[in-house]
Structure 1
Amino acid sequence: MSAPVVLVVEHEDGTGPAMVGERLVQAGLRLDLRRPWQGDPLPGSLDDHDGLLVLGGSMGPYDDERAPWLPQVRELLRQAVARDLPTLGICLGMELLTVACGGKVGHALRPEVGLVDLTPLQEGADDVLFGALGERPRAVQWHWEETENLPAGAVRLLTSERCAHQAYRLGNHIWGVQFHPEVLASDISHWGRADDTPVRALGLEPDDVVRKVDHDEPALRAVWGGMTDRWARVVASCVAPAD
């Protein structure tokens, strides 16, 4: 039996699947990484894929002129929802999922950057990905936009002090997360340099943000690596048996 194949959409340089990608490969999945910002074509359908992973990026979910492949990503997300194909949207990926399915994304009144405590919600107590996170898991945040209105039928799973919708589920196998489960300090160090001015405008020192993430790396690997392993099992369990 061949390995399940996950379509991975990367939106710009330096925003790859990182730890999530590593854990998926370790779990026996194969990644079909597409970089449309480099000219890689996106498939017209998900017929040849067993899962969909849509990553983050500095553009917003409505920035079609800046990133002309976004309409096709939104269409792939709608296809995934229609089929309940295992899907994980991270940061921009969640925002694209939101608008693709009729929700609304807007500018965050209080953007989140760096480590943030998350609060699991009762609705997510039995969720296959998030039901076993513990009371106050920490995650890396890096967003200036966020979901304002959830798509119809979405189940809220996680929240935070500044952002109401940190994670939600559509159907049984579609998840969006506003935070970045894939990154560690080495992944965000260049984000701090690129966003030096807006990060400092939040009263934060970019180098200090990176140091704190580095200090929490063991916990981040345990919590979000575990979540990734559970998503990998969902992908594998949904693969149709060969004829």
Structure 2
Amino acid sequence: MHTVHTTIFRLKALTLTALLLMAGTSQAGITVYTSQAAYLAAVSATAVDTYDNLPLDALNTPLNRTVGAYSYTATTNGTPVQLFGAGDGGDHWLSTNAATDNILFSNFSSTVRGVGGFFFGSDLFGDYTAGSSSTLTASNILGEVLTYQLILPTQSSFVGFISSDAIATLRFKSNDADNSVWPTVNDLHLSAAAVIPAVPEPSSYALLLGGMGLLGWIARRRRQSRQH
């Protein structure tokens, strides 16, 4: 009888281990999305900074922004250290004071797991211009980094990054050889992690089902022993 009890205890422990493995399965690192719909489907509680309240003028940095439940900072590496409000009409964008400058987003709220937006180029007058590639580099608090090259972006070119840990920075720069295209951002998306049940590995299923089946077999054997 002691052997049966010991076997049952071990099987229960294995079954519990399988359940924990099923609940804790996750993927580390950063993933890039080039579809706004796919990005939104993979995150939750997204808030969008439209930049429509920015003046079409030079902006001193750091530029501290709040959108929904999130906050972040935008700055640049230029001299003077200024960003610039671009766009026209009621649709304003965030750009730089010089074409060679880049935009650095940082100091995100700790709950931010996704950041994205529409990344393209503008000209000296702050109007949209085509014909230049750009580079986006995202990092998380673990120091993991992912770089994405955006080729010939348009105003509808969406890029989003989702991390398993909090987003630390996002850097955006133009690769225009003539320094005539300014890096420009519209509708910056900030998002929390999606609430998605972990998908168990096949081995976890096998371990769980095998343990439960063996427990059932032992229980039947015990009932038969008592009857005899």
Q: Tell me the TM-score normalized by structure 2.
A: 0.26
Give the structure with higher Rg (CA).
Answer: 2
In proportion to residue count, which structure has more helix? 1
Q: Larger RCO: Structure 1 or Structure 2 (Cα < 8 Å, ≥ 6 residues apart)? A: 2
